[in-house]
Amino acid sequence: MDKIFLRQLKVDAVIGIWEWERRVKQTVSIDLEIGTDVRAAAAEDSMEKTLSYKDVAKRLLVFVGASKYQLIESLAEAVARVIIEEFEVPWVRVSVSKPEAIRGSQEVGITIERTPEDYDD
């Protein structure tokens, strides 16, 4: 399986459990690895045959920017579902972090991996 990746997509969103966090937007950072097959795109040198990381980034900027999750775990799960369901990929790894959320730490975060089977409701 090939992987397309996107690193450190910065999005301002309402995130957090504290009352003050519900009133302001904070920056979250998102890293993605998305399973795909790029052989056809590479063979034909064709953008139409590959997953557009620009489309992925644009979708997440809108989705995450409008979100209001308390936990980064919930945000990561929601991002994974969007990628799996809307871009019809076989696998995704999502990392979401909050810079400077803990004093003395550069960032804290979570990484999850999901497949379409995880969303068979």
Positions annotated as catalytic residues are 98
Neighbouring residues of 20: CB distance < 8 A, sequence distance ≥ 6: none
Measured in degrees and rounded to the nearest 5, phi and psi for residue 56 equal -60, -50
Can you read off the two tokens belonging to residue 73?
């775990």
Question: How far is residue 112's CA from residue 97's CA, in Å, rounded to a whole number?
Answer: 12
